[in-house]
């Protein structure tokens, strides 16, 4: 019998060797991860329709992850994708606080050093939000130049 992640293992009540037919519980982390992947995919399609050329996705560094890296004209855009399942906790854009900005800036610096050492154009930080509307349908918004190189300031 599979152990449910939120409960301690129970003592077995039956001694037969038939498998338990109950489905595995859906973990909250799995739901959040899938929702995040869907939001990033929607954001990527949205940016491409806006004329951006997405060159990297989910670039991980020790101190942060870049959701999307895109080029718009002569500007390299580091794009953070944020989504909320409901409006209960406010808009998704509000979740990019100074700590998150600091991580994004450090990850962007590492990206430029390792993958674009000769980049001579501008760099900006954009945020794409995926928030539900009144009936629960996702609404995608792009905030260009959402913050600069001095986070929290």
Task: Judge whether 74 lies within some domain.
Answer: yes
Task: Judge whether 9 lies within some domain.
Answer: no
Quote the percentage of the chain above a pLDDT of 70. Answer: 73
Closest among 34, 28, 57 to 45, alpha carbons compared: 57
Q: What is the CATH number of the domain that holds 77?
A: 3.40.1350.10
Task: Judge whether 125 lies within some domain.
Answer: yes
- Cα atoms found within 13 Å of the Cα of residue 1, Cβ hemisphere only: 14
How many domains are there within the chain? 1
Query: Which pLDDT does position 10 carry in this prediction?
Result: 57
Task: Judge whether 4 lies within some domain.
Answer: no
Task: Judge whether 116 lies within some domain.
Answer: yes
Average confidence score pLDDT of the chain: 80
Range of the domain at 127: 28-147
Spatial contact of 40 and 57, defined as CB atoms under 8 Å apart: yes
121-149 pLDDT tens trace: 899 999 999 877 777 777 899 999 988 87
Task: Judge whether 45 lies within some domain.
Answer: yes
Structure tokens at 136: 């629960």
Question: The whole model's pTM is what?
Answer: 0.73
21-45 pLDDT tens trace: 667 766 777 777 888 888 899 999 9
């Amino acid at each position: 019998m599979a152990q449910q992640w939120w409960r301690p293992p129970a003592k077995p009540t039956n001694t037969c060797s038939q498998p338990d037919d109950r489905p595995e519980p859906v973990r909250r982390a799995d739901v959040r991860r899938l929702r995040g992947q869907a939001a990033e995919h929607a954001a990527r399609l949205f940016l491409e329709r806006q004329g951006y050329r997405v060159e990297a996705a989910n670039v991980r560094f020790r101190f942060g992850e870049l959701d999307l890296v895109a080029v718009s004209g002569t500007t390299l855009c580091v794009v953070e994708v944020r989504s909320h399942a409901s409006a209960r906790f406010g808009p998704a854009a509000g979740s990019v606080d100074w700590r998150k900005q600091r991580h994004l800036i450090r990850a962007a610096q590492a990206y430029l050093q390792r993958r674009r050492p000769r980049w001579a154009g501008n760099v900006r930080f954009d945020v794409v939000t995926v928030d539900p509307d009144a009936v629960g349908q996702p609404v995608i918004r792009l905030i260009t130049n959402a913050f600069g190189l001095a986070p929290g300031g």
